[in-house]
Every structure is written in C-alpha cells, then in structure tokens.
A and B are shown apart, each in its own frame.
Chain A
Amino acid sequence: MIQLYIARLKCLFRNKESLFWCYMFPILLATCFFFAFNNLWKVEDFTTIKIAYVNEGTQEDKLNQILTSQKMNNMNMFDVNQCDISKAKKLLEDGNIEAYVVGSEDPVLYIKENGLNQTIMKSFLDSYRQRADAIADIIKVNPNAIKEGLMNDSMQQNEFVKEASQGKKPQSLLTYFYALLAFTCIYAANWGLDEVINIQANLSNRGARVSVSPINKMKLFLCNLLAAFTAHLGSISLLFAYMYFAIKVDFGNNLLYLFMICLLGSLAGLALGGTVGVWVKKKVEVKEAILTIAVMGGGFLSGMMVPDIKYTIAEKFPLLAYINPVNLVADAMYSLYYYDTYDRFYLDAFVLGIITVVLGVASYIGIRRKNYASI
C-alpha cells in the first residue's frame, strides 16, 4: 500500500495542470488581491460610528453618558443621536445611522445589516451588560463601593473598545482572503474526482485495469484519497504560509483552529468531488465543469469576488450559506478572527462536518459497486 500511495503522490505532483490550479492559482489570486485592495486598509481606518439612543428606562441614563463619552484616537467613538423609537427606526431605515440602542435595564441593540461597526457596537453592549451585572453583584456585598469610585472605573470602556478594533483589518479585505483560502480547500474536489475516475471501471481504462486486479477496491481508493489529501494539504499550507508571511494577512491568534477548519474543508472538497464523480452519469468533462461551477460559485457566494455577497446570502438565503462548503470554511475563519467565543466557529465546523460525512457516505455507496450495466 505504501508503494501505491507513493505512486499516487508522484502522479499528483507531476500533473502540471492540477498543480497550477491547486498551488499557483490561489497564490496568484492572493497576490492580485493584495495589490488591488491593499489601500483599502488605509481608507477603512476607524471613523466615528453614527448611532441613535432611545431611553425607555426609568433609572439614570448612564448608558447614554458612556456611549457619548467613549473616545478612540482622540475621536468620539459614537455620534449619538438621542431620540424616540420611531425616529430611531426611521434613521436606521434611511441609512443615516448604523444601529440604535434602546436603553433600559437590559439594553437592546437594533441593526439593519452586518458589518465591522455593528460588530463593535454589539461587543461594546455585551461588555456593558457584563460589567453592569458585576457592579450590581459588588454593590450587594459592598454598598459603599459606588462612593469609592467603582462606577467610574468599571464603566471605563476605552480599553475594551481599543482591543475590539486595534490591529484588525477591515472586514472586506479579510473576506477576500478568507474566501480564497476556503476556495482552495474546497478545490480538493477536483482531486476527489480524479481519484474516483482512476478507480471506476466505467470511467477509465485505468479503473478497469484496477478493477480486475485482486486488490480491494475500497482500500485502494482510501489509499489514493490519502495521497490526494496529502498533496492538497501542501497547497493549503503553501497558500497559508504565503498569506501569513509574505503578504501579512492577519489570521488572528487561533491558527490551530484555522488550520483544522482548512483540513475539514479539504476533506469536504474531496468528498464533494467523489460524489460528483460517482453519481453524475455524464462524461468526465461534464463532471469537471459541474465541480468548477460549484467551487467557483461557492467562492463567489462566500465573498471571494464581491464581499457584500456573503452578507446578502447570509441575510436573505441563510440555507444557501449553510450548504455552501466554501462559505462555511470562510465563515468559520472569519468568526475566529472577529468573535471572542467559538460558538459560530463550532456551528460552521459542525455543519461542514455533516456535509463531509453525507458526501463521503454517498461516494462510498457509489464506489463499492463492483460491476456495471455498461462500460
């Protein structure tokens, strides 16, 4: 088996066309993105976020004060318009503000669309709630705490806000890079298809020759798939290293998780290729075209060409976002970068895992067939 594995690796690494699409093409695209959009980083520097504030609470309007007083690089962080709820809704609807907050004992944030500013707003409010709860607990134990300046210290949000935005590139640019990395992962589909073609007697002469040999077909398929996975891992690692070291894409601090989602994405790609190879009863060229459309289309819908598409799909066609493996990988990477918790990452990984298993089982059922009605 080791010899067969090595032979398959040789085949994969000597196929110049596959090597170009898997190894060179993503690097070329990453380079293009870098030169085309690098200036966006400067353009998209932080600017004051326009929001509205509606006070429906009975207690002192502390939240409004905090919102108004937040500073970032000597700029007001929020431009707060205090108004009633109907005006706030109108302002949001017209796009004059990016969010509004209804202040009460449990303040609520309303947004129209997703984005960096909305993320900052949400994180700010989450942190506010946490600290408000902490203060209430402390006061129960030590009622003099307020007099001792607890309130002012605890509600100082500047540090948090700085952490939330410092060093993080604008989302649009990262969306390009994450979608590209995700696209590269799912591009393994082409190698999955190749492995099926090479083993199925009804798809290739090589498959016929393999099928009449005494080797267990499933063992050989797994061996070949492992070789394809190894070779594809090389392409992901190369692209990742290029992005990380050469063009300095910021992947945050969760590199291990990021690499794990890449591995899962690669497996999903192989399984997708296998399924199309086995179940689409058309010529090989048609199968290849279907995969190219699926992977390229997946990349497009996950924001590889136009970042806003990702948000539009997530908002208007959430199911499509959840069955698009490219989007799942990209979204998992994105969530690792932007969110403090892993909830969204785990959800993406879980759904991707299910897709991988379903496609893998479908491939298995098709491949285990041993003879055919026609060749």
Chain B
Amino acid sequence: MVVKVEALVKRYDKLVALDYLDLQVQEGEIFGLLGPNGSGKTTAINCILSLLKYDKGSIEIFDKPMGPDAYDIKKDIGIIMQNVAVFDELTVYENISYFCSLYVKDKKEIKRLTKEAIEFVSLEEFQKFYPKKLSGGLLRRLNIACGIVHKPKLIILDEPTVAVDPQSRNKILEGIKKLNEEGATIIYTSHYMEEVEQLCSNIAIIDKGRVIAKGTKEELKSMISIGEKVTVETYNMEEEQCKEIKNLPGIYSVDYHDNLLEIKSGKGKNNLVHILEYLGQKNIGFGRVTTEMPTLNDVFLEITGKELRDLVEGK
C-alpha cells in the first residue's frame, strides 16, 4: 500500500473539514480524488503531507507512519500544488534545479535530472525565461517540473489544470500518464470529472469531508440506476409531451431546453427504441440523436442530490 488513510478527522473550530476519511492508494495506480470546491480534497492532501495537524486518524505512506520529520518518506514524494509555487526571480532552469537540490546533493545528478524534467514538460525553449514571462499553461508545466524533477515514487497533483488552456491541459494529462507508466503512483485531485474519468484507474468521490463512493469508474457508474443519457434534437415540444415521455418504461427524467430533449433512462436495451417510437407516433420531427453513458457527475448527483458541476461553478 502506498498511501493508507484511516478515520482521518480534521476540524477548523466547528467546521468539520474531514469526517472520518478513509483512503487506500495501491502502488502503480492513478488515484483520483473527485469532489466539488470545499469538499476537503486539499485539506486531505495537506494532512497526508503532514503540513496540517489533524484531530484524529492515522496516515501511512509506503507502509510507514507519515510525520513532519519522516524525511525518508518525503524524499520519495513529489507535490504539485494547486497554486504555482516557484521563484519569480529564478529562470525556468534555475527554479527546477533549485527544487531538485532540496532532494539531491550531487551537482551532476541535479543537472541531469533538471534537463530530463525540462524535456518531460517540453519547456526546452523556455529554459532561460523568468516565470512572469510564461503563459498560464507554461507556468503550470514549470510547476509540475519542479514537483517531479527528483523522480518521486508518489506524485500528488492538487488540481494541476485549473485555469489552463486545452493544449497545455492535454500535455499535462499525457505527462501524468507517462509518469505513471514509468512507475510512479499518482494521486490526482480535481473537480473536473472528465479529467478524472479519462485519467484515473481508481476514484474516490468526496463531499463534506467524507468519501461517498469509491471504485473504478465502471464500478461507480454501476452503483447508480441511470443506464444512459439520450439527447434528441427536436422542435416545438410541449410540456404535456415531455410528461408522456417520462411515463415511458425505464425513463427517469426528461428535460427540454434550447430544442434539445435530454432523457435519462435506466439500464435496459430498448430505451432509445421506446423514445423514437413515441416521437414517430406523435409526428414530432427530430434531428440528431446521441446517447452517452452516465458520467461521474450523474453518480455524484444520484448520491448527493446535487450537481457536481453546479457546485464547482458556485451555482
């Protein structure tokens, strides 16, 4: 077991930030910690890293108790914070080299590792740039290079793609996969469910400091009753017709807006057939029809009654 968190409790006065949180991260996996803003993801990470005191519970990393003085554990951990943590006065190269020298003493080794990290995040052309001259995406890549330069066995990424352009986001996600392929165990926190779905082999959904569901994405999706989502492009639907569709077998919910009919149905083979038959019978014209599997947002919605996406956007 790379990380084992048991019954972790962290309070800020009366606010319970972590409520008997349990996590297990196996060697070689990409573990996703998914939850809305304020759900306790970063608090959990800070407790795991011994930056924060906690009230109850235990944390083990590499099967050893984690503490502020556990230097033998710390040397194998890499951390990429939510906010960029670099020195504005040092160039890209110097920043990466500086953070490497916190872990490695040999000068030649620092040079070699720094060069590798720069290549890994594709910042070769920007080595002599100061952070202020870099775009948001490049800055994030520098932040990642500083965290992984010493080749850690466990890499913790706390929302590394916030405010990053799509191109840099893809590069970052590809990089994380590559690090994992090279043997690193990854803990990835995010409120972007698409990223977590795309990247993580195991996922824990966290809300109000508790793990509300965990497993592979398939396991999580199988926990809920929704089987698929059907979207039909159609025009002039009436409210009464929407109600009738909802009464069709296996249909859970119907939503019609902007000429799009969104239907969530249960697990079953003939849901789409029933819907299309109904539209045909009522002579309702329709355009594109798409179906998709339930997302982690649906999982979150069904378990908590809240939309993860809405919570993230602060609605």
Contact = CB atoms under 8 A, between A and B. Distances in A.
Interface string A354-375: 0000000000000000111111
B103 A212 contact: no
A239 B72 CA distance: 46
Contact of A375 (B46, B79, B107): B46
Contacts of B75: 214
B52 A375 contact: yes
Contacts of A215: 102-103
A275 B50 CA distance: 24
Interface in B72-89: 72, 74-75, 77, 79, 81, 83-87, 89
Contacts of B50: 212, 370-371
Given A10-B89, A209-B146, A214-B74, A4 B51 contact: no
A7 B146 CA distance: 15
Given A7-B101, A374-B12, A208 B51 contact: yes
A371 to B, nearest CB: 5
A373 B54 CA distance: 8
Interface in B232-261: none
Interface residues of B, number: 34
Interface stretch (A77-85, A199-207, A280-288): A199-207
Interface string A189-202: 00000000000010
A86 interface: no
Contact of B107 (A3, A204, A216, A374): A3
A220 B147 CA distance: 18
Interface in B37-63: 46, 49-53
B98 interface: yes
A213 B74 contact: yes
B85 A205 contact: yes
Nearest to B76: A214
A15 interface: yes
Interface residues of A, number: 28
Contacts of B147: 209
For B89, B94, B103, B107, which residue has the most chain A Cβ atoms within 10 angstroms? B89
For A4, A15, A213, which residue has the most chain B Cβ atoms within 10 angstroms? A213
A3 B104 CA distance: 11
Interface in B146-191: 146-147
A210 interface: yes
B283 to A, nearest CB: 61
Nearest to B49: A212
B87 A213 contact: no
Contact of A370 (B69, B77, B85): B69
A186 to B, nearest CB: 24
A209 B85 contact: yes
B144 to A, nearest CB: 12
Interface of B: 12, 46, 49-53, 68-69, 71-72, 74-75, 77, 79, 81, 83-87, 89-90, 94, 97-99, 101-103, 107, 110, 146-147
Nearest 10 A-B pairs (CB), nearest first?
A: A370-B68, A205-B85, A213-B102, A14-B89, A214-B71, A11-B89, A214-B75, A214-B74, A209-B85, A7-B98
19 contacts: A4-B98, A7-B90, A10-B89, A11-B87, A12-B89, A205-B85, A208-B46, A209-B79, A209-B146, A212-B50, A212-B77, A213-B99, A214-B72, A214-B75, A215-B103, A371-B50, A371-B51, A374-B52, A375-B52
